[in-house]
């Protein structure tokens, strides 16, 4: 297990992994200390997420381009999937949906914008593969439309029945997963030559041996799932205690926690003038949440949830996803970037975060 410890030694972020046992200890000893459990579980998920993505990438690197690409495409957001599955099992659908919307918005605005800004502070002008950004922008646009439809119909005067919304959501989820599969076929197989330079892992990291990678993947998945349960149980009361709105928790905090590991990779790539990698991680992750994680959760709700979940979002969340998608399309349309592009993109994110932070909880009652 030498490479694992070496990685941990070189990555201060991973030192937080020592908090994992304390999460379970605290839950056993002080099950009512919601705020403590919330903070501990948030802090423990960050290093676990980093280990998960490290392990996924190592397995992907050993299995060749096609299967590796598929692995990254399905397990790349395993942390988000595990957190939202825990919320789904608990029937906390508002939190599930806020986490989905938050992951999409945070990846397309904060991760992309901060990559542009951090890269732009070091390099005057940076270039990247426009075709790849365009493909992911197109898929994100499609997902936003799919999510828009049930929400718009629900807001009309003659709101359709729950039965209609549920069958529509299942149909849309299947369409999204099929489109995601076709997109993988397009970018990994039939037109892969258009998407070179978007290799998902930085080349200067030493890959782990297969056995270590698989063992880490298995063990850490279980740990993330367990910590996520603690997180989901404590989040609601902790938010009240800390005076934060549930929308802010779901859309901002969960997304930043779940995506912390990927952000580290994206930002470090931007500082090395590898913007292809940064843009690929940011948009690719948003696309994966929208076209894979979200529909999988809708379909999974029929199996493991207390009731079926639909694709109908709070209309503020729909507006944010729509604006995030348009912003990403606009800023990536030239294939060039400078620091101000990053500043503009982050400012859109700050506008959203500030609104959610100030918004009184009653404003979300219609979610």
Based on the shown chain and the rule CB under 8 A, indicate whether residue 124 belongs to the binding site for its own copies: yes
* Helix or strand (DSSP H, E) at 126: strand 126-127
Query: Which residues make Cβ contacts (< 8 Å) with residue 238, sequence separation at least 6?
Result: 34, 35, 37, 38, 39
Provide the mask over 135-174, with x wherever binding to its own copies is found by CB under 8 A and - wherever it is not.
x-xxx-xx--xx-xx--xx--xxx-xx--x--xx--xx--
At 336, phi and psi to the nearest 5? -130, 155
Nearer to its own copies, 17 or 139 (CB): 139
Question: How many DSSP H helices and E strands does the chain contain?
Answer: 16, 2
Q: What part of residues 29-48 is at the interface with its own copies (CB under 8 A)?
A: none
Q: How far is CA 190 from the centre of its chain?
A: 27
**Which residue, among 77, 176, 193, has the nearest Cα to 132 in the 3D structure?**
193
In three-state secondary structure terms, 35 is helix
Smallest separation (angstroms) from its own copies to the CB of 104: 16
Considering only residues 62, 134, 192, 271, which one is a binding residue for its own copies as defined by CB under 8 A? Answer: 134
At 30, phi and psi to the nearest 5? -125, 70
The Cα–Cα gap between 127 and 279 comes to 11
Q: What part of residues 302-361 is at the interface with its own copies (CB under 8 A)?
A: 315-316, 319, 323, 326-327, 329-331, 333-334, 338-341, 343-344, 347-348, 350-352, 354-355, 358-360
Smallest separation (angstroms) from its own copies to the CB of 230: 31
Smallest separation (angstroms) from its own copies to the CB of 29: 39
- The one segment of 84-92, 182-190, 209-217, 265-273 that binds its own copies by CB under 8 A: 182-190
Considering only residues 25, 162, 190, 219, which one is a binding residue for its own copies as defined by CB under 8 A? Answer: 190
Considering only residues 67, 182, 210, 219, which one is a binding residue for its own copies as defined by CB under 8 A? Answer: 182
Nearer to its own copies, 271 or 315 (CB): 315
- The one segment of 4-12, 17-25, 37-45, 185-193 that binds its own copies by CB under 8 A: 185-193
CB contact burial 51-90 (16+ within 10 A = b; e otherwise): bbbbbbbbbbbbeeeeebbbbbbbbbbbbbbbbbbbbbbb
Based on the shown chain and the rule CB under 8 A, indicate whether residue 242 belongs to the binding site for its own copies: no
By CB neighbour count within 10 A (0-12 exposed, 13-18 middle, 19+ buried), where does 172 fall? buried
Based on the shown chain and the rule CB under 8 A, indicate whether residue 203 belongs to the binding site for its own copies: no
Based on the shown chain and the rule CB under 8 A, indicate whether residue 191 belongs to the binding site for its own copies: yes
Based on the shown chain and the rule CB under 8 A, indicate whether residue 78 belongs to the binding site for its own copies: no
In three-state secondary structure terms, 238 is helix
CB contact burial 151-165 (16+ within 10 A = b; e otherwise): beebeeeeeeeeeeb
The Cα–Cα gap between 67 and 69 comes to 5
- The one segment of 73-81, 132-140, 262-270, 273-281 that binds its own copies by CB under 8 A: 132-140
Q: Where on the chain is the footprint of its own copies (CB under 8 A)?
A: 124-125, 134-135, 137-139, 141-142, 145-146, 148-149, 152-153, 156-158, 160-161, 164, 167-168, 171-172, 175, 178-179, 182-183, 186, 190-191, 315-316, 319, 323, 326-327, 329-331, 333-334, 338-341, 343-344, 347-348, 350-352, 354-355, 358-360, 362-366
């Amino acid at each position: 297990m030498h490479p694992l410890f070496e990685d941990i030694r070189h990555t201060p972020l991973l030192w937080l992994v020592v908090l994992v046992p304390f999460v379970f200890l605290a839950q056993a000893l002080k099950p009512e200390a919601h705020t403590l459990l919330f903070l501990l579980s948030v802090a423990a998920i960050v290093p676990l997420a980093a280990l998960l993505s490290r392990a996924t990438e190592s397995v992907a690197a050993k299995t060749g381009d096609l299967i590796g690409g598929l692995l990254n495409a399905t397990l790349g957001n395993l942390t988000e999937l595990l957190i939202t599955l825990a919320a789904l099992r608990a029937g906390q659908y508002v939190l599930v949906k806020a986490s989905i919307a938050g992951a999409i918005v945070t990846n397309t605005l904060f991760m992309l914008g901060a990559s542009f800004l951090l890269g732009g502070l070091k390099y005057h002008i940076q270039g990247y593969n426009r075709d790849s950004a365009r493909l992911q922008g197109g898929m994100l646009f499609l997902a936003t439309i799919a999510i828009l439809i049930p929400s718009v119909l629900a807001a009309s005067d003659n709101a359709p029945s729950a039965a209609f919304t549920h069958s529509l959501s299942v149909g849309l989820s299947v369409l999204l997963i099929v489109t995601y599969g076709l997109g993988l076929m397009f970018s990994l197989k039939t037109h892969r030559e258009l998407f070179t330079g978007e290799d998902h892992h930085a080349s200067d990291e030493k890959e782990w041996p297969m056995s270590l990678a698989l063992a880490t993947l298995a063990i850490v998945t279980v740990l993330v799932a367990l910590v996520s349960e603690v997180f989901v149980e404590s989040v609601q009361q902790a938010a009240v205690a800390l005076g934060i709105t549930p929308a802010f928790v779901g859309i901002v905090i969960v997304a930043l926690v779940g995506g912390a590991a990927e952000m580290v990779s994206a930002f470090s790539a931007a500082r090395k003038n590898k913007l292809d990698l940064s843009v690929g991680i940011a948009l690719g992750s948003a696309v994966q949440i929208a076209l894979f994680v979200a529909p999988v959760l809708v379909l999974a709700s029929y199996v493991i949830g207390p009731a079926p979940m639909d694709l109908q979002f709070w209309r503020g969340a729909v507006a944010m996803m729509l604006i995030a998608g348009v912003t990403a399309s606009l800023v990536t349309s030239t294939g060039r970037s400078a620091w101000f592009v990053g500043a503009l993109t982050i400012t859109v994110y700050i506008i959203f975060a500030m609104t959610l932070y100030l918004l009184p909880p009653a404003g979300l009652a219609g979610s």
